Amino acid sequence: NEILKAKMINFKKKSYEFKKNGFTILNIFEEKKFIKLNNLIKKKIYSYSNIIKDIEKDEYPLKYYHDWCIKKKVKHDWLCLQKQRYFYPNIEISNFIKKNIIINNFLKTLNVKNYTMWDDGDGFVGFRLIRPNYNDGYPLSCKSMGLAKKVISCWMPLIGFDKTETLLLVKGSNKKKYDSYLPKSSKFEKTDLRLSKKYKLKTISFDLKPGDVIFYGPDTLHSESNPLRKHTRISLEFRYNPK
């Protein structure tokens, strides 16, 4: 299925979109692998929330995590620490992320023939749990403002697929230079610069389907804080660091 899907993709077109806009969308996970990965993250979050349950049951659906996390006294800030969110997946998922034919063909069209997975020391795959109206999502910024200055990021929703929930992007921002500053205090990474507040930029988001990912470059402005979101969104991120 992966090989067949790869043959149907116009990688040159996807590369052109990426270079022009700063991002592109690819469907890389077939249904079985998407479900496995989705269930893996669900189990992690439920175990961190001290809820032992069958993930097929909907007594505490993660879509409504923002409602029941307080009732269940979930330590949300602890759950969302980097050491909890990042992990090393099993061999099957790890190989799929590192050796995926679609990903590797796409990266080759960007002239990225060799890379390492970006790993802060806790794992190269991380989930984000973003509640509505809680300021959980990173504000508008780009990877080159932080530690991961050259990475190509892969963002994948697990819960929350329509454009009121998905990643916000600034089209063409990869071709411009923006002023930035270091906040005096932040609930996010303390050393990362932030986009200057003087800018009023138009953002775009997309309707996605299971298995879709957004690839975006290190200079592409993006934000996880979609103001239209009404439910909890869960997404994955893994990053390819060119050698």
Tokens of 148: 């991961």
> In the structure, what pLDDT confidence band is assigned to residue 207 with cuts at 50, 70 and 90?
very high
Helix H or strand E encompassing 115: strand 115-117
**Nearest C-alpha neighbor of 141 from the set 228, 225, 19:** 225
Residues 6+ apart with CB under 8 A from 180: 141, 145, 193, 194, 195, 196
The model carries a pTM of 0.92
Q: Are 36 and 125 in contact (CB under 8 A)?
A: no
Per-residue pLDDT at 201? 95
Residue 132 in this model has a pLDDT that exceeds 70: yes
Residue 229 in this model has a pLDDT that exceeds 60: yes
Per-residue pLDDT at 221? 97
> In the structure, what pLDDT confidence band is assigned to residue 19 with cuts at 50, 70 and 90?
very high
Per the prediction, the chain carries an average pLDDT of 90
> In the structure, what pLDDT confidence band is assigned to residue 71 with cuts at 50, 70 and 90?
confident
Q: Are 154 and 103 in contact (CB under 8 A)?
A: yes
**Nearest C-alpha neighbor of 196 from the set 171, 179, 184, 220:** 179
**Nearest C-alpha neighbor of 205 from the set 218, 194, 193, 216:** 216
**Nearest C-alpha neighbor of 136 from the set 46, 65, 195:** 65
H-helix segments, the chain: 2-7, 11-21, 31-48, 65-71, 76-79, 82-85, 91-99, 101-109
Residue 193 in this model has a pLDDT that exceeds 60: yes
Per-residue pLDDT at 131? 92
- 214-221 mean pLDDT: 98
- 165-180 mean pLDDT: 95
Residue 182 in this model has a pLDDT that exceeds 70: yes
Higher pLDDT, 196 or 58: 196
> In the structure, what pLDDT confidence band is assigned to residue 190 with cuts at 50, 70 and 90?
low
- 7-17 mean pLDDT: 95
Kindly give the interhelix angle for 31-48 and 91-99, rounded to the nearest 10 degrees.
130
Torsion (CA) 99, 240, 29, 163 in degrees, nearest 10 = -170
Task: Give CA–CA dist 180/83, Å, rounded.
Answer: 27
Residue 55 in this model has a pLDDT that exceeds 60: no
- 126-139 mean pLDDT: 89
Per-residue pLDDT at 187? 63
Task: Give CA–CA dist 45/32, Å, rounded.
Answer: 20
Per-residue pLDDT at 133? 86
From residue 207, alpha-carbon distances to 68, 162, 173, 203, 222 in Å are: 26, 4, 21, 14, 16
Task: Give CA–CA dist 205/140, Å, rounded.
Answer: 13
Helix (H, G, I), strand (E, B) or coil at 42: helix
Tokens of 151: 């990475």
- 114-136 mean pLDDT: 92
> In the structure, what pLDDT confidence band is assigned to residue 43 with cuts at 50, 70 and 90?
confident
